Amino acid sequence: QVQLVESGGGLVQAGGSLRLSCAASGRTFSSYAMGWFRQAPGKKREFVATISWSGNSTDYTDSVKGRFTISRDNAKNTGYLQMNSLKPEDTAVYYCAARRRVTATLQSDYNYWGQGTQVTVSS
């Protein structure tokens, strides 16, 4: 089992930045790839970014490329999502998720999920 807890969400103006954290406990975090997903009001949850267990491989959805950066610190059992140049359309509940080793963009490929953290971007 892997337990995930997100933090770092909040209210920010358009153009601002936030850094989300995902603290992991339980099994060895370094064995797991991590993903970030988000769900806006009235919409389905969607893929945002993913990073491999080593940190050497990342992938992003097109709408956040160049603005968001996913990273991890295995020594701290923590993953991060740095969000810059935020837009009102980035408003959503952000979830981190974990799966064994390799990256993935489908929700169904992830075994463990956090409870989510709210990000609100005002215009």
pLDDT (tens digit, 9 = 90+) per residue, 35-58?
A: 999 999 999 999 999 999 999 999
What does the mean pLDDT of the chain come to? Answer: 95
Which of 113, 100, 122 has the alpha carbon at shortest distance from 4? 113
For 113, other C-beta atoms within 10 Å of its C-beta total 18
On the CB side of 108, how many CA atoms lie within 13 Å of its CA?
A: 0
Q: What's the pLDDT score for residue 101?
A: 77
Give the N- to C-terminal CA distance of the chain in Å, as an integer: 40
pLDDT of residue 70 exceeding 90, the answer is yes
